[in-house]
Structure 1
């Protein structure tokens, strides 16, 4: 009996040791995943986190692994997978009472909804993040206030939004976080612009230019500031000043700047000035930049602006082609957000893509049918005329009149050759049209 008890004791020690070894292995995998993440090797990071989560879904390290894997998915635009990891992370964190972690995860979920333009959902998660922030860092609280303000601005709840932005400014001024301050000034400038306070909007955008040198990405913030100043002048009808600021913003091209926005703005100005060919050149550049990082709203602006351009250039086929191209580009982005949407929600950009395809097919078929009918009618007419001529030659009752029709001995051969050549020419024309 004592021997059996000793065996059980040894077994418990071995199991405990194995558990400790497993925890050490998981920590090693996690640390390696962090290194991969910092080197932007997201697939490698996810592979190591998968190993941790395959056999360990209810521990403190699982929460960290889910958070990091979710964020890696988010950076790869795999938002559905990120969303699932964040939700699972919240569930485990709740069992451990890790309120600050739950706060961070709710903020990350809010960002997914914000990017999907589902602002009510993003607002609810950002508010949860702030409510649960507790003893989190001041930097996190500043970030949560900023995100709440962003959601409220897009919901047109501007009075509420400005309060959260001002709180975020107070926090980030204490922290001397100039990147955060620049982003907040952009949001406040856009808010003031929306209500028609253009002079206040200009002040905020000019402030960004001043403090951008203290930020980590001055070119990005200068591009945003000059682009938004150009927008204000465009709204005021001062196209010369607007064009000047848009061109100024192009001087600060970098990987993060959305130059598709600036080129769209320049295209719209050219439309208003009646310079439609020049406008089209800008819209082509806008589409080229947007293809790298699809922005649905910007594609909608391009689509509407192209309509005016091609109508003025009288190029309806080109309008159809590029509208379909834009819809193709938008489809992938739209699919990434459908899992978050109600079925009734409509996306304004998509102008019934399938209807365009059907209409174009009908037009092509109509064109082919029209050419075929024209060929048949022409062939019947020519055949009728030549047949009547030959009939008169062979069957005319009056011998004298019949002979009078044949002016020389070669006329019969000439008529038959003419009939044959006409058939061949018509066949060539028809073959070319059908191939086209």
Structure 2
């Protein structure tokens, strides 16, 4: 009995220690995300009311590039640096990553670059977690846990999805495996981060899927609809693979063509301006969550009949890949939501199914394939859209993950279980 009680007390003590490490990370990560989202809302509105700011995008790119070139000291690797430090602690995550990525992302959006926000929130959370780890003088294993908590807090807070944030932090490190080592700390950090962000008065976009009141908690399985969801998921996986490969190709190409790094975003900014005038619309700049003009294309409009054009997903891919591939800061995830939801809308029309449902499937599945996080994205679908179509969410995310190829948007990910076993 004494041995059993001793074991229980030991478990409780470990749980308490993990919670004490995760709580401050969640608080600072959630507060940083709140500051970022508030600032991002201001920059987005400022660009919408002053569209001529687009002409300053190349200049803003040079500024961002120079800041990282002069003061970055490894911070330009962003999420990949965090993943590498968790796998194998080395030089640590510099505290300067947080202000650099915050300023860089705001400059990108102020001048109209097509980028997201996940990368910024995750990098701020990870950078601040690393700073706390140094202040608390924690050992190497606990430093790894705190970095994972920083990822969870940033992700959970910026999207308002605390369960997804926790699972994402465990799943994103190794392709094909979920690292349960930090199960309790990342859950605490993500929940606290989301609650802290909300307490600062930040509100997240709400997405609605129409479900009949009598339908119950979970939709009954429709074999035809399930097959169509699987077919659409193949397209989502291929889209994820194309986005990741195209963005990395632009990075490599500009590195070869432009030897001085601060000039690469300037080249990308000029290409973005040219694409905007070739397309004749600004719908594909910025986050793209809500349209900046009446009748514009956005993530929200993709859930409505007639809310997108047949090629909206392609135009957003081009503009985002050029923006991020040339060195502007932000994140890939919200643009992937845009790409996936607009592609899902088009596929819903082709397959003669509800466009809102297929927009939701694309929303989570393209991200699942690009980030190699099918479990986290399935949970995200439930947190954002409700549990009614949870089986369809799972099918879309797991099929897209399988089809998306061996790599993704995060080059530092390691392969635990290959998606396809080599043939003998």
Do Structure 1 and Structure 2 share a fold, with TM-score over 0.5? no
Larger radius of gyration: 1
* TM-score between both structures, scaled by the size of structure 2: 0.28
* Larger relative contact order (CA 8 Å, sep ≥ 6): 2
